[in-house]
Structure 1
Amino acid sequence: MMKFASALGLFLCLSVLSARSADELPTLMTTRGKLLVDQDFSQPLKPFDGVSKGFASGFSGWRWNAVPRGGKWAVENGVFTGRETTEVKHPATASYGVLFKNVVIQCEVRMNNVPLDGRKYRSLSVRTVDAKDYVCSIHMNEGGFRITKDDNDHGGPDKSVPLGEFKTPLKLDEWHTVVFEVLGEEMVGTVDGHSLTGTHPLIGTDKHSIMFVMGVEGSVRHFKVWEAQLNPEWAKNKAKLMETE
């Protein structure tokens, strides 16, 4: 009986760890606090219906662009997909409005293998946004991914300044796991277990939304956001990470 109880306890423990690991992918800089967003796309989304005032609209929930400005979005079978419109060749953008400063963003993304229709490349980004502009991002394409500071102090000439780059083939029509950690003036971007980190004062601003940008066509699923606290192991983790960058 004792052996059975011990085996059962071990089984339950492993089951809990397995379930947790499926929901919470490893983090380097942060630990997860309160869950802010848990979106499985199992139901049709209700778009933001207030009065938009640009980046500073202060909206909550989902907002996405529409024809003819550019981009079509649809939810089906737990997947949220955005497609550029051929009329304007403008990336499809969708934003989730939630106030935050330090967060862990986790999702799965996919670049869909659809005809380019004259476009030069495919891409996909996960961005944080404050009241003035984009703040920092993970950008993906078929050649790999990079993390960026997305604006030169809000209004400068240099957009999307790279903070780090990892070159590895990212196949079309395959799901890629993303963990996006933002804490203070630093960020960590992890795609399929490969991580990059970068620092800039702009990253520490108060932010109001998370944006997905799909070049040609891309999809997202299992979107979650947590409040973030400092991981006590970050100094050690960062030292190891910097060795490999």
Structure 2
Amino acid sequence: MKRLLCFLGLLFVAGGELPGAEPQVLLEEKFTAELSKDWFWGLGTWTSKDGVLRGFESGTRRHGPVKMRKLVLKDAVLECDFRLEGKATFAGIIFNGSQERGHIVHLVMGKDAVRILAHPKKGENVELLKQSNVLSTGEWHHVKMEFKGETLTATIDGKTFTASHPCIAEEKQTFGLGGDSGGPEGEKAGALEFRSLKVSG
């Protein structure tokens, strides 16, 4: 009995968790009501209702829709469904450091390709991966992003894409959902939709 207790104690000291422990749910969004204040900034027009977060380009600034949320994490897993509507060309999920640090890493899920972009320092862009991949418009797609140290593994509809860079290991303070919804004509051009968002770590 004493040996068993010593062994369990060593496990907690070494790793903090027993093997097979369930990851902690850090965030789960149902999108059935108005967004909380943790969704603190955005471009375009966004609505959250009936289980779907929907965004499209609007306003004088020519930029695709993006909605940002506060959530501090390092190694973690993010999962959600997304859909391209109308003339939308890609959906993206971007992770940022502090306001001074700026963007860290960006997953771009386009109609014909997947890209992973790293931002080693503010204003710098490095394309870590660009790989052909077809996404149908008007259909739901599932994405799972797993951060582990310097490596990001993204699985889209069961197909896996992996990239590594030292900056990926940095602490992320916010993340954003967005992309290109089809252009300045607004909702008439197209929209981006997200649902069933879950982050665990």
Secondary structure of the residue aligned to 1:33 is: coil
CA–CA separation in structure 1 for the residues paired with 2:150 and 2:134? 29
Give the alignment's Cα RMSD to 1 decimal. 1.8
Secondary structure of the residue aligned to 1:124 is: strand
| Aligned partner (choices 55, 63, 66) of residue 40 of structure 2 | 63
Quickly say closer, same or farther: Cα 1:173–1:97, change in 2 above 3 A: same
Q: Please say if 1:187 is aligned against 2:152.
A: yes
Match of 2:68 in 1: 95
**1:96 Cα shift?**
1.9
Q: What one-letter code is carried by the residue in structure 2 that aligns with 1:135?
A: I
Contact 2:67 2:177 in 1 (8 A): yes
Contact 1:147 1:189 in 2 (8 A): no
Match of 1:163 in 2: 128
**1:86 Cα shift?**
5.8
Q: Please say if 1:226 is aligned against 2:200.
A: yes
Contact 1:82 1:214 in 2 (8 A): no
Structure 1's consecutive aligned runs of 4 or more residues displaced over 6 angstroms after TM superposition are: none
CA–CA separation in structure 2 for the residues paired with 1:135 and 1:129? 5
The alignment covers a number of residue pairs equal to 170
Match of 1:138 in 2: 107
Q: Structure 1 unaligned runs (5+)?
A: 1-30, 49-60, 115-120, 228-245
CA–CA separation in structure 2 for the residues paired with 1:81 and 1:74? 5
* TM-score when normalising by structure 1: 0.65
Q: Please say if 1:124 is aligned against 2:91.
A: yes
Higher helix share: 1
Q: Please say if 1:110 is aligned against 2:62.
A: no
Contact 2:103 2:122 in 1 (8 A): no
Contact 1:97 1:208 in 2 (8 A): yes
Contact 2:77 2:145 in 1 (8 A): yes
CA–CA separation in structure 1 for the residues paired with 2:194 and 2:25? 19
**Once the two structures are superposed, what CA deviation does each residue of 1:84-137 show, in whole Å capped at 9, x if it has no partner?**
1163321111122111111100000111115xxxxxx72210111111111112
Quickly say closer, same or farther: Cα 1:179–1:222, change in 2 above 3 A: same
Secondary structure of the residue aligned to 2:39 is: strand
Q: What one-letter code is carried by the residue in structure 2 that aligns with 1:147?
A: I
**1:64 Cα shift?**
3.0
Match of 1:75 in 2: 48
CA–CA separation in structure 1 for the residues paired with 2:135 and 2:94? 19
CA–CA separation in structure 2 for the residues paired with 1:197 and 1:32? 24
**Once the two structures are superposed, what CA deviation does each residue of 1:17-74 show, in whole Å capped at 9, x if it has no partner?**
xxxxxxxxxxxxxx9610000111112213x3xxxxxxxxxxxx21232xxxx41101
Contact 1:126 1:137 in 2 (8 A): yes
